[in-house]
């Protein structure tokens, strides 16, 4: 079958890193990603299904890996060669359509779940991700045993599959996974003691690409009473954040002042004296992390949703302000503001319908045009796009 | 003998006209046979013996006893003075305020008065720095009073040092500086750069609180002032005068000293800026070319520094003291004598170059809100009778209008630009929806009181200042302005004067009459 595949090749990763400074397309051409004919993955055992991807999104973490910016942290948590692609809507052999929950959880890897009914992402011991019958891999799209969405076939465990009805278009379904990630971050922000203690808490969102918008959608649907203020770099992102119902949307460079006005606090040096009760960093850069720390009030929470890799940040403010810095990688079983529990993917399916998430799918490409596709995804903001995906429904 | 102001009809032989563009300038050719240029009168002669004239004014005041008669041992004497917003540009040392205050202090000393406070009448303006105070008052006064804590700046947010005096029949609350109100005598030292300055505005505005100022610094008052410079048709003036009556009735005793300056605005090598272009010598032309070219190449920050270092050679043309209203009447005559130019009829298009400075950006940045205020608030209002531009006509300004804000002086301006103007440019709507939030913002209040920031509400006042002009004009165009910033102001950007006239065509037709206000130096049109 045809697939886009990443091989471990340190030299090509280095070249991609250098070339990405010039243009994303250059990084694709010289980097570790190749368009190849490979054998479909084997079914690992009972409970596994063949999935033929229909649409597979291009995520920021995919771009980071292709451009050679991914952290060395992942060296022991992924297995090469792998087929990227974890934002997937596909078809099973019986013709039913599914959305993939890509985390390769305990049950998929033959381990007991941490609790009955656990989602793949639950648990507090990640040993299963690097051991067991499958090769290491934090999720589908980074594991050589399962294949990935950027191909015509992958394998997925029953626990990873969410069947969807005929009324859910592919273009909506492919956004469910990123929406789940954003909702998870939103609920993490809302779980902050600072937010819980406030009557009308302020939650700031840095960045309004797909993940930022997903977090905004999650905040507005599942976190009652929050005032959402968004710093978005591009006008189309600002428009979409407003359409979702964010209370204040400003250009990214104005976010500090917008939060200050909303909080009614002082600006002391380059930090707000108070600020947002929680901040979701949907960018994941050195600058965005520093900004998030500046605008979050003492004892507030910064939720890192964007993948930061290696950054240098002055954490004196974090120490002094006793800021909580928490990550938000994925999804699982959520504790809702009213104390009930829910699966993030179920929440995401509902949000996808409510906001007509298919509007976010800006362009699709066949695998053969992967250079253009990745260049488009890497420049989604300036090119007025939100989500770029591969379309596997045609010949690949 | 200085020549009076002049209205030049532009024909094909008329040389191009000098136009200010912030920290730059250009020569613009106005449409022939339907354009005119209004030139300021030449600077009036300065008083020969300035110190003697000041002393005479204090000893022979108008409708009041001589100052020495009003001074006695044990009294509380407060001397308030105009702040950094006047004059423009700052004048060479010694500043008029220094000369007048030294004369008052000499008399106070002779009378044995030792409880003397000096207060900079800031209203809601930024505090002055030490060097700015020294420039205005001189080192001798500064060193004698500041270390003892008897030279300070009015704080409109200090409840302990404000006194509520009463209200006018119209319900306007009068609350002013406590020390000034409770003194046996308040001496107010003015520089009356334009006709609006001085009178009861000195005390009722310069020493007032936000609670008091909001009664006349609002869209309704500003829109109904036609113009600010014509006290008979200025609601702003009338409101201040009503407040003045409240002060008098409450027993606040004011000895008003008002001074006027000539329009000798620019020193060597910038004299060409005050000249009429057809009278430029080869040296003037060379100076223009050298200046314009250097400024276009210089970083804005450097150009700004050069301009703000200019100290004007203007000199005093009159000084009068005594009763507020009697003094102000005479002062206004002197201002008009220097600035007024008779102009026949209105125009379809009024053009104006916005210079690098206005009252609110001394040693600072002319941000977009101040561009609007200078154009529609000040220059548009430099008229008596009727506005220079007809109702529904077009104003064309020249200015780069970069979204550039001084972080220390104008913090609330930046928020106003980013938050309020995004929402509305309607003065009435923003007044209802946003003003109070900015006026009571604790951070702005803190910066106004302890740093060098204009009050949080100040950008609103600047916007209201232009509300009459905004309502009157059919369109406002800024040539050379940053397009996004210009649009944020609600105006239309244009790259050249020709483009601007093209844009104006659907409002005023293809052959509109054009009038260019050649200022600075300051000029005021008496429109018949």
Domain range for B248 is: 50-261
Nearest-CB residue to B419 (from A261, A264, A267): A261
For residue A267, give the chain B residue with the closest CA: B443
Please report residues of B whose CB lies closer than 8 A to that of A264: 441-443
B148 vs A: CB within 8 A: no
A260 vs B: CB within 8 A: yes
Q: What is the pLDDT of residues B280-318, one digit of tens each?
A: 999 999 999 999 999 999 999 999 999 999 999 999 999
pLDDT of amino acid A17: 82
Output the CA–CA distances (angstroms, integers) from residue B356 to A376, B293, B301, B519, in the order listed.
44, 16, 12, 12
- Of the pLDDT bands very low, low, confident and very high (cuts 50, 70, 90), residue A65 is confident
Tell me the two tokens of residue B462: 């600047």
Please tell me the distance in Å from A336's CA to the nearest CA on chain B.
33
Mutate to test the interface with A, among B403, B413, B419, B487 (most CBs of A within 10 A): B419
Please tell me the distance in Å from B469's CA to the nearest CA on chain A.
30
Q: What is the pLDDT of residues A307-366, one digit of tens each?
A: 888 899 999 999 999 999 999 998 999 999 999 999 999 999 999 999 999 999 999 999
With an 8 Å Cβ cutoff, are B441 and A254 in contact? no
pLDDT of amino acid A19: 83
- Of the pLDDT bands very low, low, confident and very high (cuts 50, 70, 90), residue A376 is very high
Nearest-CB residue to B415 (from A261, A265, A273): A261
Residues B181 and B238 in one domain: yes
Residue A198's nearest CA partner among A126, A301, A324, A85 is A301
For residue A251, give the chain B residue with the closest CA: B418
Residues B131 and B247 in one domain: yes
pTM: 0.90
With an 8 Å Cβ cutoff, are A261 and B441 in contact? yes
- Domain assignments of chain A as residue spans, ordered by start: 2-167+356-391, 182-343
CA–CA separation, B507 and B473 (whole Å): 10
Last residue of a domain, one of B194, B229, B261: B261
Q: Which of A17-31, A69-83, A268-282, B384-398 has the lowest mean pLDDT?
A: A17-31
Q: What is the pLDDT of residues A190-213, one digit of tens each?
A: 999 999 999 999 999 999 999 999
With an 8 Å Cβ cutoff, are A266 and B446 in contact? yes
Cβ pair B405, B364 in contact under 8 A: no
Judge whether residue A396 has pLDDT over 60.
Answer: no
Domain presence at residue B108: yes
Please tell me the distance in Å from B415's CA to the nearest CA on chain A.
7
Please report residues of A whose CB lies closer than 8 A to that of B441: 261, 264
B441 vs A: CB within 8 A: yes
pLDDT of amino acid A30: 87
pLDDT of amino acid B119: 98
Judge whether residue A259 has pLDDT over 90.
Answer: yes
Domain presence at residue B323: no
Exposure pattern of B515-528 as b/e (b: 16+ CB <10 Å)?
bbbbbbbbbbbbbe
Output the CA–CA distances (angstroms, integers) from residue B280 to B271, B285, B463, in the order listed.
10, 6, 37
Please tell me the distance in Å from B443's CA to the nearest CA on chain A.
5
Domain presence at residue B460: yes
At residue B493, the 3 state secondary structure works out as strand
A320 vs B: CB within 8 A: no
A262 vs B: CB within 8 A: no
CA–CA separation, B396 and B19 (whole Å): 11
Domain count, chain B: 2
Mutate to test the interface with A, among B443, B447, B459 (most CBs of A within 10 A): B443
With an 8 Å Cβ cutoff, are B415 and A264 in contact? no
pLDDT of amino acid A279: 98
Domain presence at residue B433: yes
CA–CA separation, B425 and A230 (whole Å): 23
Residues B24 and B83 in one domain: no
Residues B377 and B499 in one domain: yes
Cβ pair B197, B190 in contact under 8 A: yes
For chain A, the 3-state helix, strand and coil shares in percent, each to the nearest 5, are 35, 25, 40
- Please give the torsion angle defined by the CA atoms of residues A351, A353, A355 and A357, in that order, rounded to the nearest 10 degrees: 100
CA–CA separation, B365 and B305 (whole Å): 10
- Of the pLDDT bands very low, low, confident and very high (cuts 50, 70, 90), residue A23 is confident
With an 8 Å Cβ cutoff, are B441 and A267 in contact? no
Beta bridge partners of B79: B118, B187
Domain presence at residue B24: yes
Give the pLDDT mean for A377-395: 93
Please tell me the distance in Å from B453's CA to the nearest CA on chain A.
13
Q: Which CATH number fits domain A182-343: 3.40.50.720, 3.40.640.10, 3.40.50.280, 3.40.50.970?
A: 3.40.50.720
Residues of chain B whose pLDDT is less than 70?
Answer: none
With an 8 Å Cβ cutoff, are A267 and B443 in contact? yes
pLDDT of amino acid B28: 98
Residues B134 and B222 in one domain: yes
Beta carbons within 10 angstroms of residue B39's beta carbon: 23
A261 vs B: CB within 8 A: yes
Please report residues of B whose CB lies closer than 8 A to that of A274: none
Residues B25 and B116 in one domain: no
Chains A, B: CB pairs < 8 Å: 23
Any idea what the CATH number is for the domain that residue B243 is in?
3.40.50.11440
For every residue of A46-85, DSSP letters joined together read TTEEEEEEEEEE--HHHHHHHTT-S-GGGGGT--SSB---
Residues B218 and B69 in one domain: yes
Please report residues of B whose CB lies closer than 8 A to that of A266: 442-443, 446
With an 8 Å Cβ cutoff, are A258 and B418 in contact? yes
B404 vs A: CB within 8 A: no
Nearest-CB residue to B442 (from A254, A258, A264): A264
Look at the domain A2-167+356-391 and name its fold: Quinone Oxidoreductase; Chain A, domain 1 (3.90.180)
pLDDT of amino acid A27: 82
Please report residues of A whose CB lies closer than 8 A to that of B411: 267
pLDDT of amino acid A395: 60
Please tell me the distance in Å from A312's CA to the nearest CA on chain B.
27
Last residue of a domain, one of B224, B245, B261: B261
A250 vs B: CB within 8 A: yes
Residues B254 and B273 in one domain: no
CA–CA separation, B316 and B133 (whole Å): 20
Judge whether residue A25 has pLDDT over 80.
Answer: no
Please report residues of A whose CB lies closer than 8 A to that of B446: 266
Please report residues of B whose CB lies closer than 8 A to that of A256: none
Last residue of a domain, one of B232, B261, B290: B261
Nearest-CB residue to B418 (from A257, A265, A266): A257
pLDDT of amino acid A329: 92
Domain presence at residue B326: no
Residues B147 and B77 in one domain: yes
Mutate to test the interface with B, among A235, A264, A270 (most CBs of B within 10 A): A264
Residues B484 and B349 in one domain: yes
Cβ pair B125, B83 in contact under 8 A: yes
CA–CA separation, A158 and A156 (whole Å): 7
Q: What is the pLDDT of residues A112-130, one digit of tens each?
A: 999 999 999 999 999 999 9
With an 8 Å Cβ cutoff, are A260 and B443 in contact? yes
Any idea what the CATH number is for the domain that residue B466 is in?
3.90.226.30
Residues B461 and B397 in one domain: yes
Please report residues of B whose CB lies closer than 8 A to that of A254: 418
B253 vs A: CB within 8 A: no
Domain presence at residue B321: no
With an 8 Å Cβ cutoff, are A250 and B418 in contact? yes
A264 vs B: CB within 8 A: yes
A254 vs B: CB within 8 A: yes
Residues B243 and B100 in one domain: yes
Cβ pair B306, B298 in contact under 8 A: yes
Pairwise pLDDT comparison (A31 vs B387), residue with the higher score: B387
């Amino acid at each position: 079958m045809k697939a886009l595949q990443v091989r471990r090749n340190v030299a090509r990763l280095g070249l991609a890193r250098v070339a990405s400074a010039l243009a994303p397309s250059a990084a694709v051409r010289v980097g570790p990603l190749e368009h190849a004919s490979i054998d479909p993955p084997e079914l690992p055992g009972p409970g596994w299904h063949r999935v033929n991807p229909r649409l597979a999104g291009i995520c920021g973490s995919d771009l980071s890996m292709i451009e050679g910016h991914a952290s060395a942290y992942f060296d022991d948590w992924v297995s090469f060669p792998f087929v990227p692609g974890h934002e997937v809507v596909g078809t099973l052999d019986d013709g039913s359509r599914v959305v993939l929950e890509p985390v390769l959880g305990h049950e998929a890897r033959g381990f007991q779940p941490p609790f009955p009914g656990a989602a793949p992402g639950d648990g507090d011991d990640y040993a299963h991700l690097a051991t067991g019958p499958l090769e290491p891999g934090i999720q589908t799209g980074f594991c050589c045993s399962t294949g990935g969405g950027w191909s015509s076939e992958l394998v997925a465990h029953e626990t990873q599959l969410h069947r969807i009805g005929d009324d859910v278009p592919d273009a909506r379904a492919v956004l469910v996974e990123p929406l789940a990630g954003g909702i998870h971050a939103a609920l993490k922000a809302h779980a902050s003691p600072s937010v819980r203690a406030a009557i009308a808490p302020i939650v700031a969102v840095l960045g309004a690409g797909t993940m930022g918008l997903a977090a905004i959608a999650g905040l507005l649907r599942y976190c009652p009473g929050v005032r959402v203020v968004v710093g978005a770099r591009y006008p189309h992102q600002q428009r979409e954040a407003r359409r979702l119902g964010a209370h204040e949307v400003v250009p990214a460079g104005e976010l500090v002042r917008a939060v200050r006005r909303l909080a009614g606090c002082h600006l002391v040096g380059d930090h707000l004296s108070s600020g947002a009760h929680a901040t979701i960093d949907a960018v994941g850069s050195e600058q965005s992390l520093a900004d998030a720390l500046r605008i979050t009030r003492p004892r507030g929470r910064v939720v890192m949703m964007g993948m930061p890799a290696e950054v240098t940040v002055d954490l004196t403010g974090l120490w002094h302000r006793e800021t909580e810095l928490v990550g938000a990688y994925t999804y699982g079983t959520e504790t809702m503001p009213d104390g009930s529990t829910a699966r993030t993917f179920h929440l995401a399916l509902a949000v996808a319908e409510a906001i007509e998430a298919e509007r976010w799918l800006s362009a699709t490409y066949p695998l053969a045009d992967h250079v253009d596709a990745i260049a488009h995804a890497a420049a989604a903001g300036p090119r007025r796009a939100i989500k770029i995906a591969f379309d596997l429904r045609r010949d690949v | 003998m200085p020549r009076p102001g002049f209205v030049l009809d532009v024909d094909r032989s008329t040389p191009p006209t000098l136009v200010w563009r912030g920290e730059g300038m250009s020569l613009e050719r106005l449409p022939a046979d339907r354009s005119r240029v209004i030139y300021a009168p030449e600077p009036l002669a300065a008083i020969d013996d300035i110190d003697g004239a000041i002393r005479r004014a204090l000893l022979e005041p108008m409708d009041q006893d001589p100052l020495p008669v009003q001074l006695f041992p044990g009294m509380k004497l407060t001397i308030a003075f105009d702040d950094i917003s006047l004059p423009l540009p700052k004048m060479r040392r010694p500043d008029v305020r220094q000369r007048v205050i030294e004369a008052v202090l000499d008399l106070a000393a002779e009378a044995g008065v030792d409880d003397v406070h000096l207060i900079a009448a800031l209203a809601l303006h930024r505090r002055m720095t030490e060097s700015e105070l020294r420039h205005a008052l001189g080192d001798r006064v500064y060193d004698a009073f500041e270390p003892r804590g008897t030279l300070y700046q009015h704080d409109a947010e200090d409840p302990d040092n404000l006194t509520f005096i009463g209200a006018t029949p119209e319900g306007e609350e009068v609350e002013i500086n406590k020390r000034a109100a409770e003194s046996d005598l308040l001496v107010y030292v003015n520089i009356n750069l334009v006709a609006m300055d001085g009178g009861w505005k000195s005390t009722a505005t310069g020493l007032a609180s936000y609670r008091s100022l909001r009664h006349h610094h609002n869209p309704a008052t500003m829109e109904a002032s036609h113009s600010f410079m014509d006290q008979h048709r200025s609601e702003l003036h009338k409101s201040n005068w009503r407040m003045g009556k409240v002060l008098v009735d409450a027993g606040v005793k004011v000895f008003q000293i008002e001074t006027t300056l000539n329009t000798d605005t620019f020193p060597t090598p910038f004299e060409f800026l005050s000249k009429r272009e057809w009278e430029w010598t080869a040296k003037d032309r060379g100076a223009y070319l050298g200046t314009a070219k250097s400024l276009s190449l210089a970083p804005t920050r450097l150009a700004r520094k050069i301009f703000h270092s200019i100290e004007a050679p203007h000199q005093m043309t009159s000084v009068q003291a005594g009763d507020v209203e009697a003094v102000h009447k005479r002062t206004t005559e002197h201002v008009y004598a220097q600035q007024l130019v008779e102009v026949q009829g209105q125009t379809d298009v009024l053009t104006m170059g916005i210079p690098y400075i206005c009252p609110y950006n001394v040693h600072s940045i002319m941000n977009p809100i101040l561009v609007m205020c200078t154009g529609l608030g000040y220059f548009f209002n430099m008229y008596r009778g009727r506005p220079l531009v007809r109702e529904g006509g077009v104003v064309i300004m020249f200015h780069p209008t970069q979204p550039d804000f001084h972080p220390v002086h104008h913090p609330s301006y930046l928020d106003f630009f980013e938050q309020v103007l995004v929402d509305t440019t309607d003065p009435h709507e923003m007044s209802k929806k946003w003003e109070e939030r900015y006026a009571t913002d604790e951070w702005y209040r803190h910066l106004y009181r302890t740093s060098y920031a204009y009050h949080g509400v100040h950008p609103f006042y600047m916007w209201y200042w232009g509300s009459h002009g905004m309502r009157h004009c059919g369109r406002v165009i800024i040539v050379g302005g940053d397009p996004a910033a210009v649009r944020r102001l609600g105006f239309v950007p244009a790259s050249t004067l020709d483009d601007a006239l093209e844009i104006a065509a659907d409002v005023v037709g293809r052959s509109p009459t054009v009038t260019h206000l050649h200022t600075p130096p300051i000029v005021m049109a008496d429109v018949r």
